[in-house]
Amino acid sequence: MKHNILVLSLSIFLAACGGSDSSSNNSSGTTANESTSSTTAETSASDESTSSSSSSKGSQLIAKSDCLSCHKEHERLVGPSYAEVAKKYENTSANIEMLANKIIQGGAGNWGDIPMTPHPGLSKGDAEEMVKYILTIK
Q: Say yes or no to pLDDT of 106 above 80.
A: yes
Nearest-10 crossing angle of helices 93-105, 124-134: 120
Identify the pLDDT of residue 52: 57
Distance in angstroms (rounded) separating the CA atoms of residues 118 and 127: 12
Distance in angstroms (rounded) separating the CA atoms of residues 94 and 59: 21
In words, the CATH class of domain 24-134 is mainly alpha
Q: Exposed (0-12), middle (13-18) or buried (19+): which is 103, by Cβ within 10 Å?
A: buried
Domain ranges of the chain: 24-134
Taking the model in full, what pTM does it have? 0.62
- Tens-place pLDDT, residues 50-66: 445 666 899 999 999 99
